Structures are given as C-alpha cells and as structure tokens.
Amino acid sequence: MADIFRGARRLLSRIRPVRVPEAPARAFRDLWPGDAQRGARLLRGEFEVMGSARSLTGWGPEAGPLPWRQALHGFAWLRDLRMLGTDAARVEARDITEEWLAAGAAEPLASLPEVAAARISAWLGHWDFLAASADEGFRRALMQRLVQDGRLVAANVPDEAAHRGALVVLKGAIAAAIALGEEAWMVRALKFLPAELERQFHPDGGHVERSPAVQLLAFQDLVELRNLLNGSGVLAPPQLATVIERAGQALRLFRHGDGTLALFNGTREEAAASVDLALTQGQAKGRAPLLLQETGFHRLAASRTLVIADCGAPPPGRAPDPATGAPRGADRFAHAGALSFEMSVGRDRLIVNCGAAPAAEEGWCMALRSTAAHSTLVLAETNSAELRPEGLGRRPERVEAERFEAQGAQWLEASHDGYRRTHGAVHRRRLYLSENGDDLRGEDVIETEGGASPPCVVRFHLHPSVDALLQEEEGGVLMRLPGGQGWRLRARGAAISLEESIHMAAEARRTSQIVLTAEAANEGIQWAITRVTAAEPPGPAKPAA
C-alpha cells in the first residue's frame, strides 16, 4: 500500500508544472574539501571511490559495481576536480556532466532518490565552479534536470530506505526547495525531518548503520542541513541541534589517538583532518564518551592505551530497491565482525580490523566483510553473520555487554549468539585493561549446548606500521610500534602463529596477523598483550609479510 501511495505522489509531481529558472535562487558552497589526487585521476579518465578506481567507460550496470555507480551518478566527485583549482578541471567537470546528461541521465540508478538528492546537493554546492560561467545551453539543461530531480526527491519524502540515504533525500529536498523557491517542498521536508532524525540516530547519538564512516557522513549531513536552514532564514526544528550535539560526541568515540576512525562496518581509513573539520563545522565540543549504549560500542582507555570494541547487534535489514537492486536496509555495509576490537597506544595503532572496500568487486568486498578480516574469534571457518550483497542474512540476534571499573582498571564482558543457528554455540569475550594501560588481557570462550566446540581461531590483525616477530621459544609474538615501544602477545589454550594479512588504507597494504588456533574453546582461550618494560628491550623485529 505504501508503494502505491508513493507511486501516486511521484506521478502527481511529474504532472504539476514547476517553473525552470535561469539559475538557482541561491547556490550553496560545499563545505568539505575534495581530494586532488582523485581529481587528477578523473582528468585521466579514472573514477575512484572508496579506494576502488575504474575507467569511465559508461553509466550502466556494465560500468562497475553498484556502490561505485551510485557515487558516479551522485556527482560528489565535483569537489575532487574543484580541489585541483585549474581550468582543465573545470572543463573536465562540464564534459563529464554533458556526457551524463546525454547518456547517463536515463539510467534507472540516476533516478534513485538517494542518488538524485546527492546530485542536487553536489550541483548546488559547486554551481559557481560547474555552471556559473558556462554557456547558456549547458546551464539550461542543468536547471531542467535540477527541477526534475527536485520534484522526484520531494515526492519521495520520507524515503523508504532505512539507512543514511533517507537523510540525504531530506537534505536534497530542502536544498532544492531553497534553490528553486518551492515552498511546498520545504513544508513537506520539515514535516518529516524530526521523525527522520529519530529514525536515523539512536538516543546516544550513534547512527543506525553502526559504521564510523557513515557516522562521519551523517554528521556532515546534519551540519549541512543546519546551515541550509539557518542561511535561508528557516527555523530549524529543535531536535536538529540536539542530534548534532549527540552525533558529534558519538563520532569522537570512534577516534584513535591519531585522529583516524576505527575500521568497523564499511569504514576505511579516514584522514584525521576530515574528522577535525566536521567536528569544527558542527561546533561539537567535549570528550569522547566511554560507550554508546544503544549503538553498541565501548571505549576502554587508560593512560595512552585505547581499546574500541564492537559489542552491539547488527542493524535491521530491508528488501532492496526493486528497480535498481540498491540496498535499502541499515545493514547495507554491515560486517560479520561481532565482538571485534581495535587497540592503539598514543598515536600508534596496534590491533586493527582489515578495513573495507564497499565499491570493489563482490568477492573482494565480501572477503573484507568476513569475520576472519576482524580481530575476533572465528568458529569453524564460519562467519558470525551471513553476508549478502544487500546486507546480512543470518545474524546475531542477542548481543549483550557489561562493563565494570575499579581503581582505574576496566573490564568488559560481552557475548553474541551468531553461531547458535549454525553450531548451537555462543561466543563470550572478556577484556581487561589495567589502570596504567600497560596490560590488556582477554579470554574467548565458546559455550555449546553439549559436547566440545568445533575448532576455532582468534585473530589479531596488526597495523602495517607495526613490526612483528614470532618468538617460538617464549610462546609469543613481539610487536614494535613506530615510536620504538615494544608489546608482546602471549596466549594459553591455543597454538600461536604469525601470518600474512591485508590492510585497506588509501590502497591495499600488506601486514601481519597473530593467529591463535584451538581444537575447541569450551575451556577458553586466554591471551594477554603487555608492554615490554625498559628493562626488557624489544630488540629487533621484522614484519612477517
């Protein structure tokens, strides 16, 4: 029934005439800097998004994976060309846009509300760069499509997607309403904005997708919404300021000592400067919280040591868009990384997850979403959640966590039942961080309904800047941080080895992982990561990979 009403609104939006002005009544300067290197690649005919680069050979399904094409049709890449600041970049921006108008605009994906809304924001945010000095025919074609997209987006408020895309749609509708003077679009968008804010963000400020990368993007959306409304003299709903404050604090929880974001659920390495700029623009002050209760992330910190742990249930799914196959569930970027954690010491990252490649080919994307790509336990070579292109199938249904603190020391006890359907098992993880931050201890236990658990491994992926050396005689692995500080990992109840791994930064980098292998884990696998004291120098160490 909802789809019927939505289709009727779309039809009416096409019938009702909307005047096509010569130029936007108001254009908006994009707040976020681009990447000059990505802009230079565009000049060479290559489009890079989320670390995946492909030649610009078309606009349809054959051109590349769905997330890659969504970004291409969304035009946020204009900021990368603008960052170059050259006439050649401006000409390239217009050439690509003209080609899109001629060949790409008719693609079904181009009319996905989230994509159309992103394009509206990009065109208006870079209007002076893209169109202000262009010929009249180019500007007229751009404005005609802007009006068409504005009607489409306004008719799709509120959007069916359960993820950030619905927030992007609202932002695009408000931007189009201001630029085209369509008061009815503004009234409709403001009517649904408070409910969408509540749907998108938990009371603790965490975004429903549970992804640090999406948390950053959604926070940027909130800042843009506030600036759009305030700059146009429109009274923003009071909920917006509250959500901005909470979302900014939640974003801080995901930051390591070097300012980068932890690699959970589709997150790649984000430049610390990008996070700093977002927090500054959002006027978000204060310290990082210790936990996001509803979102399900914990932060253990003592002295210079920091642990960020995923102790929450995956977000809900939803059937993909029937026309394009685009994901509509909040689990679209979800990984099978239940109870994984990352650890840093000062500005040096030590234990990490492998990262993500959401716009890469499906096999590569799925490999990085797997449980084995995370610093957690893998039971019987099975993912803790079933990975699907549009999100998750089978998933943990019950994820619990408790934390305690005494005299500066911190404990975290968590469990998930992602293996209950496949193996009748529950994974329990206990973490302990000493008051001086020099000792992180853990225990991983598999509880079964009867009999011994299947074989399992516990993985600790190391940041590429960490040197690692297996000490077979001492039964541990010696790790050296870039600053020279040494740490050692030892374990009981499992065999220890050092293997190759991969880390997704600006590009894929080889690194190492510590692997604990056990025939069963009913009695628990105990491990400890301790700092090597000055009396016990770390000595030479070389990476395994």
Mean pLDDT by 10 residues, the chain (545 residues): 48 60 88 95 95 93 96 98 96 97 97 98 97 94 97 96 97 97 96 97 98 98 97 95 98 97 94 95 92 98 97 96 95 98 98 95 95 98 97 97 96 97 96 98 94 94 97 88 95 96 89 96 95 65 42
Q: Which CATH class is domain 310-314+326-531?
A: mainly beta
Angle at 497 between CA 382 and CA 499, to 5 degrees: 70
User: Domain segments of the chain: what residues?
Assistant: 2-200, 215-221+234-289, 310-314+326-531
pTM: 0.94
**Amino acid sitting at position 148:** Q
Q: Is 387 left (phi over 0), alpha (psi -120 to 50) or beta?
A: beta
What tokens does 258 get?
């070097």
The confidence score (pLDDT) of residue 28 equals 86
**Residue 492 and residue 235: Cα distance in Å, rounded?**
61
What pLDDT is stored for residue 5 in this prediction? Answer: 44
Rounded Cα–Cα distance for residues 434 and 454 (Å)? 32
DSSP per-residue letters across 286-346 = SPPPSEETTTTEEEEEETTEEEEEE-SPPPP--PPPTTT----STTTT--S-TT-EEEEET
Angle at 216 between CA 214 and CA 220, to 5 degrees: 110
CA 32 to the chain's CA centroid: 17
Q: State the amino acid at position 486 in one-letter form.
A: G
- What pLDDT does residue 542 have? 42
Give CA separation, 192 vs 159, 160, 189, in Å.
10, 13, 5
E strand or H helix at 48: strand 46-49
CA distances from 502 to 194, 300, 461, 479 (A): 41, 25, 8, 17
Q: Give pLDDT, residue 329.
A: 97
Distance CA 410, CA 390 (A): 37
The tokens describing 463, both together, are: 């940041």
Rg of the chain on CA atoms, in Å: 24
Dihedral sign (CA 431, 366, 344, 350): positive
As a whole number of angstroms, the distance between CA 34 and CA 128 comes to 16
CB 149 within 8 Å of CB 18: no
- The predicted pLDDT at position 378 comes to 98
- Residue 535 is predicted with a pLDDT of 54
Tens of pLDDT, residue by residue over 357-402, are 999 999 999 999 999 999 999 999 999 999 999 999 999 999 999 9
